């Protein structure tokens, strides 16, 4: 066998859309400067501290309390958002009613509203003399200056993530799947559990993850309602700010690093879970 394969065509295939080099370059530069560099700087700053000092900062009671509060409140907020967001998306997609478009638009308010405004409004409502607070406090349920307040604020600012992630997938779901399930004898709840829910699950998980990540980092809305009592209602981001104001750069960096790692871990787990949920789409014959 001496015949070599013919040389590849010297003509490079032309791209249909021009400007790939330019747009890609700008995009990468932007990502580098705005997203990656700060993260890298943070990691480097954290690395300077050294492991022993790092753990000393983290295991300080005040830091631990702040991290614990942040995680727990974010978890509570996410559980609520997961349930309510799914319901909201369902109502917005599946039913027609007057004012549906207004309700749909309302869902974006938490995104559009400055978080400080949200925090102010929430603390006014839940304060002992506010509309909600006046009802709840006589029943012995205090929201402001407690973990509940923190969770309420987190939930408010991150609810649209779940709704907006699930809504388009639910809209695109082919009604034939449900009809098929019905003709096979499945009753409404079974149809939801076995046919609809698995279809929206990947998007739902994205929404939940984003909602949790946003709750972890929520600052503006929380500080108004939490009371910010050290060891009790002080969230991790606020503690990082306090450390910075005390010129304790290492302390601030260590807390920030911890939040970063939790967020990244979450993202990774969510992506893995999604890949698993979508494995049926992978190998296409």
Partner 1 sequence: MTMSIAHLTRRFGATEVLRGIDLAVDKGELVALLGPSGSGKTTLLKIIAGLDWPDAGALTVDGEDWLAKRAQDRRIGFVFQHYALFPHMKVRDNIAFGLTVLPKAERPAPKQIAARVGELLHFLQIAPLGDRYPAELSGGQRQRVALGRALAVDPRILLLDEPFGALDAQVRRDLRRWLRGVHDAAGTTTIFVTHDQEEAFELADRVVVMGAGRIEQIGRPDEIYDHPATPFVARFLGLTVELPVTLRAGRAEAPGLDPSALPRRAMADGPATLFLRPTEITPVPDTTGPWRVAEAVSTGALLRLGLEGPADCRIEVEVPRRAGRGLTEGQTVRLRPEAGQIFPRQSNSDGASAPAAKPLSSVKESSL
Site for partner 1, rule CB under 8 A = 174, 176-177, 179-187, 190, 194-195, 198-199, 277, 280-281, 283-285
CB of 152 to partner 1, least distance (A): 35
DSSP category for residue 176: H
Judge whether 110 and 160 are in contact, CB under 8 Å. yes
Q: Which is nearer to partner 1, 98 or 185 (CB)?
A: 185
Q: Rounded to whole angstroms, what are the CA distances from 8 to 1, 2, 12, 15?
A: 19, 17, 9, 18
Q: Which is nearer to partner 1, 121 or 186 (CB)?
A: 186
Q: Which of 33, 62, 86 is nearest to 254 (CA)?
A: 62
| Sign for the pseudo-dihedral over CA of 232, 233, 236, 240 | negative
CB of 197 to partner 1, least distance (A): 10
Q: Which is nearer to partner 1, 4 or 284 (CB)?
A: 284
On the 0-12 / 13-18 / 19+ scale of CB atoms within 10 A, 61 is: exposed
CA–CA distance, 182 with 190 (Å, rounded to integer): 9
Q: Which is nearer to partner 1, 87 or 184 (CB)?
A: 184
**Token pair for 120:** 């102010």
Place of tokens 């938490």: 110
Length of the chain: 285
CB of 111 to partner 1, least distance (A): 31
CB of 210 to partner 1, least distance (A): 22
CB of 269 to partner 1, least distance (A): 20
Q: Which is nearer to partner 1, 24 or 184 (CB)?
A: 184
């Amino acid at each position: 066998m001496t015949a070599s394969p013919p040389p590849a065509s010297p003509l490079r295939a032309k791209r249909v859309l021009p400007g790939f080099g330019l747009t890609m370059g700008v995009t990468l530069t932007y990502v580098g400067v705005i997203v990656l560099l700060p993260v890298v700087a943070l990691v480097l700053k954290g690395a300077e501290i050294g492991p022993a000092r790092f753990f000393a900062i983290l295991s300080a009671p005040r830091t631990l309390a702040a991290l614990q509060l942040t995680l727990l409140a974010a978890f509570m907020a996410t559980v609520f958002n997961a349930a309510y967001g799914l319901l909201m998306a369902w109502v917005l997609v599946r039913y027609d009613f007057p004012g549906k478009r207004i309700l749909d638009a309302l869902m974006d308010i938490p995104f559009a509203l400055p978080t400080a405004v949200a925090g102010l409004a929430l603390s006014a409502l839940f304060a002992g003399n506010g509309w909600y607070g006046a009802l709840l406090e006589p029943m012995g349920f205090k929201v402001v200056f407690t973990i509940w307040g923190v969770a309420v604020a987190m939930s408010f600012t991150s609810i649209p993530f779940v709704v907006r992630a699930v809504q388009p997938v639910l809209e695109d779901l082919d009604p034939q799947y449900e009809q098929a399930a019905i003709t096979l004898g499945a009753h409404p709840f079974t149809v939801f559990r076995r046919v609809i829910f698995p279809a929206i699950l990947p998007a739902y998980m994205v929404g939940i993850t984003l909602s949790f990540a946003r709750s972890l980092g929520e600052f503006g809305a929380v500080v108004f309602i939490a009371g910010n009592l050290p060891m009790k209602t002080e969230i991790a981001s606020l503690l990082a700010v306090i450390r910075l104001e005390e010129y304790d750069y290492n302390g601030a960096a260590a807390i920030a690093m911890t939040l970063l790692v939790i967020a990244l871990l979450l993202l990774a787990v969510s992506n893995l879970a999604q890949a698993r949920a979508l494995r049926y789409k992978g190998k296409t014959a």
